[in-house]
Structure 1
Amino acid sequence: MNNNASHPGITAILLAGSRPGVDPLAAAAGVILKTLIPVAGQAMINRPARALIDHPAIDRLVILTQSPQPFLNDPATRWLGDHPKIRFEASGRGIASSLLPLLERADIGLPLLVTTADHVLLDMAMLDQFVAQARGQDIAVAMVERTTLLARYPHSRRTWLKFRDGWWSGANLFWFGSAKAARIVGLWQEVEQDRKKGWKIIAAFGPVALLGAVTRISSLSGGIARVGKRFGLAARLVAMDQPEACIDADKPDDIVLIEEILAKRG
């Protein structure tokens, strides 16, 4: 356990639920869940799970999923149920509805670091940067600016949001440092079905944020800080140094690229 009172141990939340219906990636790989797809010889979930539990600032890992049984029944992921720092919790109908109760539970503990089970390239360096820059904030979100990604992976395709300070793509790392974060998570729950539609999410944070994005008079970092101030909390953008932070396993092309990167890492 992390016993430094000024830096309480982090609870990591790994989102490993599945959406309704058949996942085409899982079906093509012959597994029942996307997070069980083999990537470079490992079940997809294994690499981010190990990165999280190996990080010295993280005390515990909570895996949110509809049922733990697929993971406990699979020899490749059975270790998740045996590890003393890992527990499973039932996920709700969406990410925000799953997170809201956790923010209020004493047995979970704050701060929360949230990421996804398809964040296969997550590593110590990414976690070091994110934790260092998110500490002290009520909420923080990691993103990668387009030039950072394209300088190394010019053919990688991402979803971008355009602001004065660049084009940004999400890195699937979120920080909830205090119970105040529930105010933002509640809003997130309202627009969750539109999480891939950037303008609807921006509009939900108010007309000033929307106008700033449209006219490019607002930087993303400044906008996030102002949105936080509007809700009475400290909020920060963490601009990730590693381009791999925004490469998750959403498409077959992503998995090919991820395997190439892992092969170079050795």
Structure 2
Amino acid sequence: MTGSVTAILLAGARPIPDPLAAAAGVAVKPLVPVGGEPMINRPARALLDHPAIGQVVILTQRPDLLAADSATGWLAAHPRVRFETGGQGIASSLLALLEAGDLPFPILLTTADHVLLDRAMLDQFVDEATGADIAVAMVERETLLARYPGSRRTWLKFRDGWWSGANIFWFGSDKARSVIALWQEVEQDRKKGWKILAAFGPFALLGALLRILTLRGGIARIGRKFGLTARLVAMASPEACIDADKPEDVTLIETILQRG
């Protein structure tokens, strides 16, 4: 799969000032310094350095700010990087890019605040997601707390554990469009797990509430509902679900980076 995966790096700017950006005195969150450089640089390099990744599409409302900044200007000059101007929603922006017809599958999507993204995470995710129409990376709570007992995440409980998102997604074929369209409908409620589950039908919602579904089984069942193969990738690296979302996250990430 050398160079065959299209990577999308989400570098959105909120319509309201981001607290991390405001505290750091920068215009948008992807420019917030983490470990001595804008947070977007590390996941961008991880993607560009991985042999499976071909082009990297940076989706942002403010490509001008990233291109003009001396620390991130290299992205605008890189031959395998292109900027696309996103709208207010991730899913609607993705659908627009797909409609344009120049975004080849498979697609790996991740975020500019995934500062700890590295080769090992990408190796596992690409290997396990390949062949699926949709895949999502998650970290089970015990995996995280075994190494970072003080880390606080948002967890969803299922029969096979408590799970938190790792901000890495896979769209393996054009069949993924139907799920992206549904994502567009519930995007404003993406932090509210039960509303997302409800969108997939009453059985999925009831199953989660009664804890009778495993997450793996639930994702596979949702895939079948849409006529596609959907897969959970349970990440081995606890760092996969640590993103730079709050000041305490940045502190933890910088500690991890200092340890190498």
TM-score interval w.r.t. the shorter chain?
A: over 0.9
Deviation at 1:101, TM superposition (A): 2.3
Q: Name the residue aligned to 1:261.
A: 256
The secondary structure found in structure 1 opposite 2:147 is coil
Do structure 1's residue 35 and structure 2's residue 63 form an aligned pair?
Answer: no
Aligned counterparts of 1:51 and 1:85: Cα–Cα separation in 2? 13
Deviation at 1:68, TM superposition (A): 1.1
Q: Name the residue aligned to 1:181.
A: 176
Do structure 1's residue 145 and structure 2's residue 121 form an aligned pair?
Answer: no
The secondary structure found in structure 2 opposite 1:47 is helix
Query: Retained in 2: the 8 A contact 1:12–1:60?
Result: yes
Query: Retained in 2: the 8 A contact 1:104–1:179?
Result: no
Matches within 5 A, 1:104-143: 104-143=99-138
Aligned counterparts of 2:95 and 2:137: Cα–Cα separation in 1? 20
Alignment gaps of 5+ in structure 2: none
Deviation at 1:105, TM superposition (A): 3.9
Q: Deviation per CA, 1:8-50, whole angstroms, max 9, x where unpaired?
A: 7000000001111111110100100111011011110000000
Pairing partner for 2:223 from 211, 222, 228: 228
Aligned counterparts of 2:90 and 2:11: Cα–Cα separation in 1? 10
Aligned counterparts of 1:204 and 1:72: Cα–Cα separation in 2? 38
Pairing partner for 1:16 from 5, 11, 23: 11
Question: Normalised by the size of structure 1, how large is the TM-score?
Answer: 0.96
Do structure 1's residue 191 and structure 2's residue 189 form an aligned pair?
Answer: no
Aligned counterparts of 2:98 and 2:215: Cα–Cα separation in 1? 26
Pairing partner for 2:62 from 54, 60, 67: 67
Do structure 1's residue 216 and structure 2's residue 211 form an aligned pair?
Answer: yes
Task: State the identity %.
Answer: 71
The one-letter code of the counterpart of 1:136 is: G
Do structure 1's residue 161 and structure 2's residue 160 form an aligned pair?
Answer: no
What RMSD, in angstroms, separates the aligned Cα atoms of the two structures? 1.1
The one-letter code of the counterpart of 2:141 is: R
Aligned counterparts of 1:15 and 1:256: Cα–Cα separation in 2? 22
Q: Deviation per CA, 1:99-154, whole angstroms, max 9, x where unpaired?
A: 11233443221110000000000000000000000001000000000000000000
Aligned counterparts of 1:107 and 1:198: Cα–Cα separation in 2? 32
Q: Name the residue aligned to 1:87.
A: 82
Deviation at 1:72, TM superposition (A): 1.2
Aligned residue pair count = 260
Aligned counterparts of 1:65 and 1:83: Cα–Cα separation in 2? 17
Aligned counterparts of 1:93 and 1:186: Cα–Cα separation in 2? 15
Q: Name the residue aligned to 2:198.
A: 203
Question: Normalised by the size of structure 2, how large is the TM-score?
Answer: 0.98
Aligned counterparts of 1:224 and 1:110: Cα–Cα separation in 2? 21
